[in-house]
Structure 1
Amino acid sequence: MRSAFGQEFDVPDGYLNTAGIGIPSAAAADAVESAVRDWRTGAGRPGDFEQPVQLARAAFAGLVGFDVERVAIGSAVSELVGLVAASVPDGTRVLVASGEFTSVSWPFAAQSARGVTVTVAEPAELGERAADHDLVAVSVVQSADGRVADLDALRAARASGTRVLLDASQSLGWFDADLSWADVVVAAAYKWLLSPRGAAWMAVRPELELVPTSAGWYASADRWADIYRMPMRLAPDARSLDTSPAWYSHVGAAAALPWLAGLDRAAVHAHCVGLADRFRAALGMEPAGSAIVAVRTPEAMERLTAAGVVASGRAGAARLAFHLYNTEADSARALAALT
């Protein structure tokens, strides 16, 4: 068991795979276990999950700098980005990064029958090319190799009239940056937010009118009163975009996200990036200011696996991720395997 930033983690030595699956705190895991136990014994009730959903929603709002009324819940990033993609006008011109995670790019590509076009550019070019497009959709930190988006350039592009959608799944929880200026910010729970898979959130500005194509009882103005009623009465805020929550995922998120939102973000950022950049330096790589490191040396994944290091193979590289529960000992084990 490790202690990190006031929580206990049952994370094994050499675990450097948070970019794939984050490890929950003991408190978050215990909360989920308790809820599952209630389910198993028939003690759970639907109303029991209202508070966890709201706690996690409010904490996400705090993490991204939006009002809680502007946050919708879903189960995956692609589902939430899909709401945006289905709502953009016919002929919308979308710009995405080369190598972008497909949960960000494909929902827009799926709208091609309406004349929606998707153009691919190098990440460093997005800011300068944004003016020729209606919307830029990009990850704050790229999943494959940890490249950090030029947020200043994207913010300037938005000020000039281009909409900006940010996927913060690989950054929220360690990256200290202001995202409150974006039109849309989405993120999944199960990576750096250290929560169970099955929860995701989207913060969206009120002037961006989205069609609630999956509207159901949870998007209602009064959920329990409207479950059998017509005509439709949607919530007056971003809750109108909600889909029914994966209960146990939100129980874990309600324990994890408020804690993360209350941390000194600069300290977390310095810890994670410090570990990653020192690791990069030991391999003769330049610092990148990212908690994700892509190693392309021959047989890197095989060497890491043999040494008991848990990493991911992505885009032809071994991807290592350094989160707040990682230590210099984890880095040393990986370095010994690679050098």
Structure 2
Amino acid sequence: MEIAQAQQLWKPEPGWLNTASYGLPPEPGWTALQDSLAQWRVGSTSWEGWGESVQRSRTAFAGLIGVPDVDVAVGATVSQMLAPVAASLPAGATVVVPDIEFTSNLFPWLVQQERGITVRTVPVDGLVDAIDADTDVVAFSLVQSSDGAVAAYDEIVAAARAQGALVVVDATQACGWLPFDGSRADVVAVGGYKWLMNPRGTAYAYLAPALRERLRPDAAGWFAGQDPHASYYGLPLRLADDARRFDISPAWFSWVGAAPAMDLVAEIGVPAIQAHNVALANRFLTGLGRPAGDSAIVAVDVPDAEQRLAAAGIRAAVRAGRVRASFHLYSTEADVDAALTALVG
């Protein structure tokens, strides 16, 4: 599907430049969600059909990052998906994290400090050089939330492998617009409600098979069973033998809205989405006299930016006094130009 054709599936108010905060649902996802809510309201169906959206979403996510769907667990938040990884680290382990990392990929490691885990933060552009023989885990965002910086993925992975360190990637701000090979990491965790345009309450995690052997599924329930529908009651423990043992019971309606959005991203293709998004981001940067970049998220210093954008009806984020603008499928050149008019006249 071409971008121009796909854009007909959204109806945003002009000026939405904040997908880095949350993505907007395409019409198929919105409609599926409304239909399921109407069914819930009157009790016209059982829940199993809603539950099928989970596997559909899982399979689509696996395809986007190039991993088998049996190696993907589903949950609700990135920090929840990372918790068993952090809990599995032996006492004395060292985790290296960028100093501007979003806390969903920082707090899970920090809460293990009482067990003797060391968390060392370094400048994001010095991450590769900071990986040494004492490093057990390298945890980083593929794209930084604060400023859109794209990590040197291949270089970081190579440096980590040279030291025998695990690679844990938060791809929440990347997956859906930035192509990458998830199988090169040990863990790839993604919150679905941003660039994948899922309802909030969906998260995905690729967990490499070798790593899973070290993890304990402390949140296991019926949905983590080998056959969830045969796991409602009683002994024995009978968990799935793949990544599903780390699933948590799904928030049905979030997944009903997620599946059509996931299918649509796959149909359009991440490379095409990347080209569209980055072109708009660079149009914005050029209009402000800044050099072009390689990200769909940009952060710039502009005096009185928050007030100027608000007065023009432009919805972008302001982080530490900097404008953070983010551009996705439904963003247009008109959105960019309206923001530039507001900021520079």
Give the TM bin, normalised by the shorter chain: over 0.9
CA distance in 2, matches of 1:186, 1:265: 18
**What is the aligned partner in structure 1 of residue 120 from structure 2?**
119
Shift of 1:266: 1.9
Q: Comparing 257-266 with 235-244, which one deviates more in the overlay? A: 257-266
Asked if the contact 1:214–1:243 (Cα under 8 Å) also holds between the matched residues in 2, the reply is: yes
Alignment of 1:146-295 (within 5 A): 146-160=148-162, 161-208=164-211, 209-295=214-300
| Structure-2 separation of matches of 1:258 and 1:315 | 36
- Secondary structure of the residue aligned to 1:58 is helix
* Residue 155 of structure 1: how far off its partner (Å): 1.8
Once the two structures are TM-superposed, the CA of residue 3 in structure 1 deviates from its matched residue by 5.3
Residues 147 and 299, structure 2, Cα contact 8 Å, conserved in 1: yes
Confirm or deny that 1:297 pairs with 2:331: no
In the alignment, the residues of structure 2 paired with residue 231 and residue 178 of structure 1 have an alpha-carbon distance, to the nearest angstrom, of: 37
* One-letter amino acid matched to 2:34: E
Q: Is the 8 A contact 1:3 1:9 kept in 2?
A: no
* 8 Å Cα contact 1:4/1:324 also seen in 2: no
Structure 2 alignment gaps of length 5 or more: none
Given candidates 144, 147, 167, the residue that maps to 2:146 is 144
> Following superposition of structure 1 onto structure 2, how do residues 78-93 of structure 1 map, counting pairs within 5 Å?
78-93=79-94
Q: Deviations over 1:99-135 (max 9, x none)?
A: 1100000100000111111111111111121234111
Q: Does 1:16 align with 2:17?
A: yes
State the alpha-carbon separation in 1 of the partners of residues 8 and 261 from structure 2: 10
Q: What is the SS of the residue equivalent to 1:310?
A: coil
The CA deviation string for residues 51-110 of structure 1, in whole angstroms up to 9 with x for no partner, is 211100000111111100000010011111112111122221001111110000010000
- Residues 148, 198 of structure 1: alpha-carbon distance in 2 compared, 3 angstrom cutoff: same
* Aligned-partner Cα distance in 2 for 1:5–1:176: 19
Distance 1:3 1:41, change over 3 A: farther
Q: CA deviation at 1:176?
A: 2.1
Identity value in percent: 45
Structure 1 ranges of 4+ moved more than 4 A: none
CA deviation map 1:151-187 (0-9, x unaligned): 1211212331211111111111111222321110010
The Cα shift of 1:223 comes to 1.4
Amino acid in the other structure paired with 1:311: A
Is 1:338 matched up with 2:318?
no
Alpha-carbon distance in structure 2 between the residues aligned to 1:179 and 1:278? 29
Give the residue type in structure 2 aligned to 1:30: T
What displacement does 1:12 show? 1.0
**Larger CA deviation: 141-150 vs 159-168:** 159-168
TM-score in terms of structure 1 length: 0.96
Local SS of the residue matching 1:137: strand
Q: What's 2:48 paired with?
A: 47
Letter in 2 for 1:177: F
Q: Greater shift after overlay, 41-50 or 140-149?
A: 41-50
The one-letter code of the counterpart of 2:87 is: A
Distance between the aligned counterparts of 1:4 and 1:300, measured in 2? 33
In 1, distance between residues paired with 2:189 and 2:45?
30
Q: Deviations over 1:169-219 (max 9, x none)?
A: 111111122232111001011111011001101011011021101111111
**What is the CA-CA distance between 1:50 and the residue it aligns to?**
2.8
SS in 2 for 1:262: helix
- Total equivalences in the alignment: 338
Provide the rounded CA distance (Å) in 2 between the counterparts of 1:51 and 1:7.
Answer: 27
Contact 1:3 1:325 in 2 (8 A): no
Out of 306, 314, 319, the position equivalent to 1:309 is: 314
SS at match of 2:227: coil
What is the distance in 1 between the residues matched to 2:271 and 2:236? 48
Instruction: Give 3-state SS (helix, strand or coil) of 2:148's partner.
Output: coil
The SS at the match of 1:224 is: helix
* Partner residue, 1:107: 108
TM-score, normalised to structure 2, is 0.95
RMSD (Å), alpha carbons: 1.4
Structure 1: 5+ residue stretches without partners = none
Distance 1:63 1:247 in 2: 22
Distance 1:224 1:87, change over 3 A: same
Query: Tell me, what secondary structure is at the counterpart of 1:164?
Result: strand
